Structure 1
Amino acid sequence: MRSHQVRLNNGITMPAIGLGTYSFQYDRETAELAIRIALKMGYRHFDTAKIYGSEPAVGSALTKAILDGTVERGDIFVTSKLWGSDHHDPVSALKQTLQILGMEYVDMYLVHWPVKFKPWACQAVPKEEDFEELDLESTWAGMEKCLEMGLCRCIGVSNFSSKKIERLLDFASVAPAVNQVEMHPMWKQSKLRETCAHHKIHLSAYSPLGAPGNAWGSMAVVDNPIIQAIAQKHNATPAQVALKWGLSKGSSVIVKSFNQNRMKENMGCFDVKLDDQDFFEIDKLEQWKIMRGECYVNQTTSPYRTLRDLWDDEI
């Protein structure tokens, strides 16, 4: 698995495939078991967030694995995220995350969305009165403080458009190492990939399969006839084709499945070899963003009046 790494702009390497742990539909025991199985399969990157509710399971499973010698802390990569209600104090938020995880540091800490909420607004779908004016400069200063204090090895962002990346770089002392966004063959993020590459910011793909199985997800990617035909051609699965497409674009991929067979199937994406004709066919696919973020848009309290404001026309 050491060969399947991406190097970030600070010199740190990150596994090219990660296990997403958004787990509202699973109990803690199920999540812990899935993480333990994933470790045995070779997964070394585990992606969590305060709002996912999975930090306790991730921390417990990884701690047990470290204590029993299954893996060393230095061989795993843990990502968590700053929720909108914690923009006031990223240092305290990360310290709380570390306490829950039972770890001295996380490898990556991301600003989950470019949205700020009141301190008590800790639900995934905010109410209209929960929004506050976003002060990204102050938030990022707090993120840089987390890095300076050794609470994390890297800092980055999630769900940031090209314009928001450029704006952040205007005042950042430390550039984000990662921008984690939705990306798959039906939402290719061509402009954003170009922007991130120009600034040496790694683009990491969440929902690389379209998030089938999640309440907001879709089967459109893996059910697409072109993706299925390419899979049949290579004796692969549609999921493996979609993941290999993302990897081929230089991105890492965060896959979310606690099903043992699908977890193993997803790891098989590294063995798939796509050719020029495959990429040509995928390039013809109609583009469709699945995670649109409608709940972060309103006409009164949000800084974003429309979806185009939120994504700066990258939608």
Structure 2
Amino acid sequence: MNSPVIRLNDGYEIPQLGFGVWQVPNAGAAAAVTAAIDAGYRLIDTAAAYRNEEGVGDAIAASPVGRDALFITTKLANPDQGYESTLRAFDASMKLLRIEKLDLYLIHWQAVHRGAYLDTWKAFVKLRDEGRIASIGVSNFTVPNLERLRDETGVMPSVNQIELHPRFQQKALRAYHAKAGIATESWSPLGQGSLIDDPQLAAIGRKYGKTAAQVILRWHLDLGLIAIPKSVTPARIVENFDLFDFRLSEEDIAAIDKLDRPDGRIGPDPEVFG
């Protein structure tokens, strides 16, 4: 079964369930992405900073479903922020990925202290207007900087990819996204594995004949989020895609809602990182 899709504010559609390759070595990226494509994933999410775009490109080139069936995302590395440097970095990523047009390009971090994210965004808009990218967005951006992009360029990001999982639910930022027409994409949707042994999530899973990981990923989908779980284990890759024969009850969603914690962040704080 295919993943459901979400329509972005630019009219393009993105699969709601994708495959992330953070911390996947370049040498293993082609095998992991190929396994994901075989399992049914069509959204593949990489980044220049992951140093595995070449391996992802190998899997795209060899894919039996063809390039047009895939939705490819990559991200600009922080040192490459700036107008001209962004254009050069984009060319370098496209050469490694070996594709003609990118589906989604993200500024990986706002990196406020660099003072370059606005010029970077202007380069993104240029690349989009030239037809080299379908959709442009950001990752790890806060509300004031999202609004600055919109106010200075007239273009609101289509996606903000943020850390989001049951222990760090980002409710205020999600509410802003919904109001502003920005799709929310969850990185580390399983809390980097810290949640798969949670007894409450396991108990919910038993009701549906599913694992805790499947419950968490279904929670993302039921909330209208885009999720990009990562694994290099073929069986887990398949398991993480087996989500489309159940939905969580309102009661179970309310129970997961209570897992949110003020100190639940696992990754870096976007206000200071980058």
Change beyond 3 A, Cα 1:295–1:177: closer
2:259 aligned residue: 285
Cα offset, 1:134, TM superposition: 1.2
- Alpha-carbon deviations, 1:51-91, whole Å to 9, x = none? 101100000111122xxxx1122110000001111112211
- Alpha-carbon deviations, 1:144-200, whole Å to 9, x = none? 111112221110000012232222222133221100011111111111111111111
Cα distance in 2 for residues equivalent to 1:262 and 1:194: 31
Cα distance in 1 for residues equivalent to 2:225 and 2:206: 24
Asked whether 1:37 is paired with 2:55, we answer no
- Alpha-carbon deviations, 1:259-286, whole Å to 9, x = none? 1111111011222321121012112114
RCO higher in structure (CA 8 A, sep ≥6): 2
Instruction: Indicate which of 247, 270, 275 corresponds to 2:249.
Output: 275
Is contact 1:91–1:145 with CA below 8 Å preserved after alignment?
A: no
- Following superposition of structure 1 onto structure 2, how do residues 95-106 of structure 1 map, counting pairs within 5 Å? 95-106=91-102
Change beyond 3 A, Cα 1:54–1:13: same
Is contact 1:162–1:191 with CA below 8 Å preserved after alignment?
A: no
Is contact 2:169–2:260 with CA below 8 Å preserved after alignment?
A: no
**Unmatched segments (≥5 aa) in structure 1:** 117-131, 213-218, 303-315
2:15 aligned residue: 15
Cα offset, 1:206, TM superposition: 0.8
Is contact 1:78–1:106 with CA below 8 Å preserved after alignment?
A: yes
2:77 aligned residue: 83
Cα distance in 2 for residues equivalent to 1:22 and 1:295: 21
- Following superposition of structure 1 onto structure 2, how do residues 90-129 of structure 1 map, counting pairs within 5 Å? 90-115=86-111
SS in 2 for 1:205: strand
Cα distance in 2 for residues equivalent to 1:99 and 1:294: 29
Is contact 1:95–1:151 with CA below 8 Å preserved after alignment?
A: no
- Alpha-carbon deviations, 1:78-137, whole Å to 9, x = none? 000011111122111111100111111210000000117xxxxxxxxxxxxxxx631332
Identity %: 36
SS in 2 for 1:57: helix
1:176 aligned residue: 157
Change beyond 3 A, Cα 1:40–1:241: same
1:163 aligned residue: 144
1:143 aligned residue: 124
Change beyond 3 A, Cα 1:294–1:162: closer
How many positions carry a matched residue from both structures?
A: 270
Change beyond 3 A, Cα 1:158–1:41: same
1:126 aligned residue: none
Instruction: Indicate which of 218, 240, 262 corresponds to 1:244.
Output: 218
For 2:244, give the aligned amino acid.
F
Change beyond 3 A, Cα 1:295–1:199: closer
For 1:155, give the aligned amino acid.
I
For 1:9, give the aligned amino acid.
N
1:232 aligned residue: 206
Is contact 2:141–2:270 with CA below 8 Å preserved after alignment?
A: no
TM-score, normalised by the number of residues in structure 1 = 0.81
Cα distance in 2 for residues equivalent to 1:148 and 1:257: 34
Greater mean alpha carbon deviation, residues 138-147 or residues 50-59: 138-147
SS in 2 for 1:265: helix
Cα offset, 1:17, TM superposition: 0.9
Greater mean alpha carbon deviation, residues 287-296 or residues 191-200: 287-296
**Unmatched segments (≥5 aa) in structure 2:** none
For 2:65, give the aligned amino acid.
V
Is contact 2:104–2:134 with CA below 8 Å preserved after alignment?
A: yes
Change beyond 3 A, Cα 1:40–1:111: same
Q: Which has the higher helix share?
A: 2
Cα distance in 1 for residues equivalent to 2:210 and 2:198: 14
Is contact 1:58–1:101 with CA below 8 Å preserved after alignment?
A: yes
